[in-house]
Structure 1
Amino acid sequence: MLQLRNTPIHILGIGGIGAAVGWGLAHCGYSVILVDNHPGKIAEGRKKGISVVGLGTHQIPIVTFADWIPPNVGIILLCTKTYDNPAVLSRLPEDIFLVPIQNGFDPELEQRDHACEGIASFVSECERDRPVTRITRPGSLHIGARRSITADERAEMMLLAIALGKTQLFPVELVADIRPYKATKLMYNAAISPLAAMAGVDNGELLTNPLAEKLFFALLLENYAILQQARIPLARIGPFHPNTVSLILHTPWLPALMAGFFRPSLRGTYCSMASDIHAEHARTEIDAYNGHLIRLAGEYPCPINRATFARIQKITSEGLKPQYQHLEDLAAQLPKGTLS
């Protein structure tokens, strides 16, 4: 049986999730090794440590991805962006206990036979050039199986959940099946991230601008419809189950009421795509978000997802700056009546 206290936990990716999880485990006395390829984060982290704003700093060993040697035993937490997965997965032993904590669906990762995954409903934002993160919106970390698992795999999953629960940075919920939570997180992320990123606004502003709000609600409903027609089970993340969210958005006066309810909790929180779209030679997770939904839809109509995917691709390929005009251009290219 794996003993976490005696075995380093390797965390790939010092982003919002990786930095927070690594800090929390180190704070509780676990041995952690962080792996990244960002020169600034590596240099700052080695010099000044890994910080969670308001909670402190811990010195945690950091290894460059080029120098990292994957362990033969132990746990690897995959907290990279999905577009970095091919480079990572090509170096991992097939039998290593891999636990992705990511957003979106990566086709290559989906083909692996790993036992479990984590889905974060909290929002954690890491600075672009320093391993300094802040939790901007509270939420849980769900951990659960993605297939039938053995008794040993279940025991290792529970050990990890217990360890992460000790950090007290976020509630940890051990669930029987992680797949409905992953699909539900996708439903939200694929509506919030591309719209907020292309407009260059925080998540809360999607609920203050009339056009942004209309696009957001319409994309959310289209995402829900795609998942429903594909018979993908969903789960409750946050106050409402997706079935209830759909009912609310189809009721004439409720969306405006709920927008006012959620606006304060989203204000000042940024989607993970925002930092990507600002970067030189920008790469985003749009394929793992809306691209996955488009593939899942097949012949099912999904005009907003297709237009959103194309708009993000245009912005990144042409090096365009985020601005509200992109939302207006997106709305203008939708079939007549799509947003009515």
Structure 2
Amino acid sequence: MPRHQTHIAEDLRPGRGAASRDAGRFERFLREDVHDGWDIAETPRIERTEVAEERPRSVINYTRSPDLPFDRTINPYRGCEHGCIYCFARPTHAYLGLSPGLDFETRLIARPDAPATLAHELRKASYRPATIAIGTNTDPYQPIEKTRGIMRGLLEVLRDHRHPVAIVTKGTLIERDIDILSEMAAQGLARVGISVTTLDPVLSRRMEPRVPAPARRLATIARLTEAGIPVRLMASPMVPALTDPELEAILEAGRDAGADAASWIMLRLPREVAPLWQDWLETHYPDAASRVMARLREMHGGAVYSSKWHTRMRGEGPYAQIVAQRFALATRRLGLDHPTAPLRTDLFRVPPRAGDQLALF
């Protein structure tokens, strides 16, 4: 169904990143609000979070991207209430007939049966274990996880199967699951990546409106590592001329909090993300907008983004090389450049269920 193409007043979207609900690229028609001539007052509608449910037949997504160190992922939720304006996952909402703008942040889809579905998939005789990545698309520890508990259910299944998992999040709610993660980490089955984009709380609140503050995320790194859970500091995304001056400071703060490794990715603006980002940039940082966009075009052959394998994550050219060199020098100085141990797959087992016949030998 066609979506509204309109700008939403700021006071009607508190704590949201996107300012519009523009139609996705698959919509054939646009619908715009116009004055009908009647002077009838209408009550403004504040954007609230709505959650629908989905029950897919499988939850493990397989990928063959040469840019990624894993071949399978799980997404407990579609959409993300964190509202990060730069989120490269926003265009996926267009496949649902929803806006990659405000709909991505406010019209979420939960998968309550995901743990049971995962257990069913892991029990198949044809299944071969390899690290499952969670949080690579939308954050599994976004606010609705507090009441839904889908991610915790998935971890319980993975723990029971002794299956390796790598988690990426900005959400401090992960501390709730330290009991499971520490048990898995002790067996070499779990690793966490915490994303810190900036140390500036004002910039963070504007760019990632419902994400815990940078200092709070650093505290989460400390709590996880104290529990024996290995953590990677992810300085991602780096925004040219806006956050990249902080690269070394972010890495040092992560090291001081206990991170044992680090990584970085340059800002990516695929499809509908580009206009959303540019609108946000012109609104909040107009003086820096031209520099930011010029740097991005410089790294992508004149375009704001290129999806080429091997270069889409970090760009090309002198500027991208300088950032990469700065990262290499800083991680070497801070001791964050050592390779991390691979997660174990040899412990995988299918736990017996009630009623299963036990082996005699």
Give yes or no for TM over 0.5.
no
- Structure with greater helix percent: 1
Q: Per the shorter chain, which TM-score range?
A: under 0.3
| Greater Rg by CA | 2
- Tell me the TM-score normalised to structure 2 length: 0.26
